[in-house]
Every structure is written in structure tokens, then in C-alpha cells.
Amino acid sequence: MDVARALGLDHAGLSRDGPTPGIPNRPSLEASISVAGSQEVPAGISHPVSRSLDVIARLWLTINFDTFPLEETYPRQTTVAWAAEHTLQQAVECHFVSGYQPAASPTHHRSIPSSFKMASLCDRYDFSIRWSNNLADHLEIVWNGNHGTVTIYEHVICLWNHLQYSSACPIPVEMLEETLDTIILLFPPDDRGTRKLLKRHDKTFWRLGRCGREWVSSAGDFHYWRARIDALLKEYEQPPRGARQLRLDEDGRNFLEFSTFWTALAVAVLTILGIGFGTLGTVYAIKAYNLSYKQYVLSQKQYMLDLVQACVETGARERWPHICSEAD
């Protein structure tokens, strides 16, 4: 028996109808792999066989099973336990069923705005992206102060291939579809901002398009990933942080804060300009008054000069005694 057949990679060896006597659990798989090369199991063979079994499952499903971390440089990596009594399908379902939520009632459906996407979260809310090979880490948020990091499962092509051969895949079809829907939701392939973001991260999965999936408009349509989508929506519904709140959102959610700030700023600027122009007006009014006063004094002197010149003429004092008396 080869490793692929022992693990159940072939269509006949793995049914999606639930556990059956024909689907081996972990000890049976380890024993099958051990005897593939020898009829006798050497002493101490279980540990390397167990590690090999996990590696095969990881490479196939891109899920980090718990023998050793898939990415040792990232200590927060989620691991999936594969208990001895479980088949591979049961191990996957046991882990992900803990986050499964039934369909929400129509009155509790949380609407998803069309502007909800990863590009907006990074631009307006200072989120960053950590790309992961581990499906179990998808949409996990890690906080460092006010800075959030969202883990995104990056192998869209694997999801698509699993859906094409879903009868031989231990991951539930609904979960594969939901994961694909979350990626399309956060990274809409026809959005220019999303393409720029993915280009900066050297990711090209947007070229796959929507993979035949429709855009999901309600968080209640998610079952496996609803809690993590709700957490992202909760952050998205908060006002933008820092200087980002001075820009108007695409859907105008922060219009009140935006209009209040810019109106107050405009009033402040106009007030300062009014004070400045008022001060300039006062200065020029004082200068105009001083100029008028000097003109008045000059006109008085000119009047006296004309009066003196008129009174020095012969007989002027006799003709205008009262006027010429002012010239004395």
C-alpha cells in the first residue's frame, strides 16, 4: 500500500458521508505506512511515521496539524489536533465545528457594506496583513496596542481545486466555499485599491476572479467564519483613527465628524482672517486719520498765508479790518 492510498487520497478510500469502517483512523494509517516498506515495524518507528503523516496532510490540506509548527517563526500559529481515534475528516471537522454558527434569523442579519474590504481596513484603520499557509489561522486578528494584524489564508487556488474535487477532500464543502467568499469579500478582484494592495504584497490571486462565487452581503450567511467576520466588521464600524478621520468614508459613515471638524476649521480660519483684516482696517483708518489731520493743519497754514498776503496790500486793512486783525 502506498502512502497516498493509506492516507485516503484516492476517491475510493475517502468518503464524505461520514466515518465508515473503510476509512482508517490515525493508528491504522501509521501502521499501513510502516508496513509499506517492511512487514515488521522497527522499534521507535511511530514518531517519524506520525510526523510524516502530518506533513502529508499539511501539504494536501494546508492545515497545520500538531506534530510540529508549519511556520516555526510565527509562534501564534493555530494547530489542529488529530486524535488517534479520528479519521482525517473527523479531525478537520472537530476543529472547525467549534466556530460553526447556525444560520442567523432574518432580523439578526448583519449587513456588509460594499466598501468593506481589506484595502479600506489598511488605509483607514491602520491594519496590516500577515499571509499564512495555514487555513486554521484565516481571519485571525492579533493586536499590538492600537495596531491590528489580520491573518489571511493565501492559497486561493487550493480552495478552488478542493472544490473541484470535493468528494475526495476532508474539508467540508461549505467551509471551502465560505473561505473563498471571505477572500472575495475582502479582496474584490475588480477593485482598483485592492489590486494596488495585492501588488504591494506580491500576490496575484485576484487574477482568478470570483471563481464563480457571488458577493456575500450579510455576515449571517457565514457559519464557520462569522465570528471573525463580525470582529472585522466591528472594527470597520468604528470611527477612523488619527488623521484618517479627517477624510470622508466612501459610504459617508463619518460624515458628522468630518463635517463638524471641517466646519469648525473653516470658522476658525475665517475668524482669524477676520481679525487680521480688522486689524489692517484699523491700522489704515489710523493712518487715514493722521493724513487728514495733517491736511487740515496744512490747510490752516495755507489759509493764514493767503490772509497775510491779502492784508499786506495797500488799503486792505481799512477795507477788511476784522479779517486782517486775524493776520496780526
The answer, yes or no, to whether residue 168 has pLDDT greater than 50, is yes
Other Cβ atoms less than 10 A from the Cβ of 95: the count is 18
Proportion of the chain above pLDDT 70, given as a percent: 73
Instruction: Enter the pTM of the model.
Output: 0.67
Beta carbons of 116 and 106 less than 8 angstroms apart:
no
pLDDT for the residue numbered 84: 77
> Is the Cα torsion angle 81, 148, 73, 160 positive or negative in sign?
positive
Q: Tell me: the pLDDT tens digits for 203-245?
A: 988 888 878 888 888 888 898 999 999 999 998 888 766 666 6
Query: Distance from CA of residue 266 to its chain's centroid?
Result: 30
pLDDT for the residue numbered 248: 65
Among 99, 79, 77, which residue's Cα sits nearest to residue 175? 99
pLDDT for the residue numbered 70: 47
Q: What angle do CA 261, 265, 266 make, to 5 degrees?
A: 120
Q: Tell me: the pLDDT tens digits for 71-87?
A: 554 556 788 888 878 88
pLDDT for the residue numbered 142: 92
- Per domain, the residue ranges of the chain are 3-99, 106-253, 254-328
Q: Which residues of 293-322 are buried (b: 16+ CB within 10 A; e: fewer)?
A: eeeeeeeeeeeeeebeeebeeeebeeeeee
Query: Distance from CA of residue 208 to its chain's centroid?
Result: 22
Beta carbons of 92 and 63 less than 8 angstroms apart:
yes
Distance separating alpha carbons of residues 313 and 310, to the nearest angstrom: 6
Q: Is 18 left (phi over 0), alpha (psi -120 to 50) or beta?
A: left
> What grid cell was written down for 261?
471638524
Lowest mean pLDDT among 62-76, 148-162, 181-195: 62-76
Average pLDDT rounded to a whole number, residues 113-125: 88
The answer, yes or no, to whether residue 11 has pLDDT greater than 50, is no
Amino acid identity of 34?
A: S
Average pLDDT rounded to a whole number, residues 27-54: 62
Task: Give the best-scoring range by mean pLDDT among 73-77, 116-120, 248-252.
Answer: 116-120
Beta carbons of 134 and 62 less than 8 angstroms apart:
yes
Average pLDDT rounded to a whole number, residues 129-150: 92
Average pLDDT rounded to a whole number, residues 56-82: 73
